[in-house]
Amino acid sequence: MFLALLLSSVGIALVLLGLFVFGLRRRLIQRSGGTFDCSLRWNVAGTTDEAEAGLSGPEPGGRGWVYGVARYNGDRVEWFRVFSYALRPRRVLERSAIEVLSRRTPQGEEELALLSDAIVLRCLHRGTHLELAMSEDALTGFLAWLEAAPPGQRVNVA
């Protein structure tokens, strides 16, 4: 009886410690400011020809989206998975390498996989097609950040 109670207490303490560290990580990411909620779908089929040929990309219908937090850091956007303990960004997008191709509203099952007010931004980054989903306010800020590139830097915003 005592052993079961002890093991239960240790288990609950470990869960609470894990949640505390999880919240602390989010605070550390946000402390420098310039963060926004942003879902990411990496390596999406670039064109209909690529999709038909099955060259790359996740399955259609909302699959492949990963919820995260993005942070502006100079000429880069650092993207962190929300459900992770890693202190390093999972993806880093350089302003000079991002090309915005189009924007759209979530379709089909994506409406369930993404936040309710999300806008999907289709981009190209160093030859890799990706999609970012963010709120309208975050989208406005992201596009303004892209357009505010230093003189001489190539910027392509759809």
Confidence check: pLDDT of 57 > 60:
no
Asked if 103 and 37 sit in the same domain, the reply is yes
Q: Which residue has the higher pLDDT, 139 or 3?
A: 139
13 and 80 belong to one structural domain: no
* pTM for the whole structure: 0.76
Q: Per-residue confidence at 33, pLDDT binned at 50, 70, 90?
A: confident
Q: Within 13 A of 57's CA, how many CA atoms are on the CB side?
A: 20
For residue 155, name the pLDDT band (cuts at 50, 70, 90).
Answer: low
Residue 30 has pLDDT above 90, yes or no: no
- Token couple for 29: 């990411």
Which has the closest alpha carbon to 60: 125, 106, 116? Answer: 106
pLDDT for 48 equals 43
- Average the pLDDT over 125-149 and give the result: 92
Which range marks the domain in which residue 140 is found? 33-147
DSSP lists the bridge partners of residue 103 as 121
79, 82, 88, 94: CA torsion to nearest 10: 0
Give me the residue label for tokens 């191709």.
101
Least reliable range by pLDDT among 1-10, 52-61, 85-94, 139-148? 52-61
Q: Taking residues 133-144, what's their average pLDDT?
A: 94
Number of residues that make up the chain: 158
55 pLDDT higher than 90: no
Asked whether residue 73 falls in the same domain as residue 134, the answer is yes
Does 128 lie in the same domain as 108? yes
For position 85, what pLDDT does the model report?
A: 80
Are residues 59 and 7 located together in one domain of the fold? Answer: no
Going 132 to 79 to 153 to 130, the CA torsion angle's sign is negative
Q: What CATH number did the domain enclosing 107 receive?
A: 2.30.29.30
Ramachandran angles phi, psi of 45, nearest 5°: -55, 130
- Please state the domain count of the chain: 2
Q: Does residue 58 share a domain with residue 21?
A: no
**pLDDT above 70: residue 58:** no
Considering the domain boundaries, does residue 69 fall inside one?
Answer: yes
* pLDDT at residue 50 tops 90: no
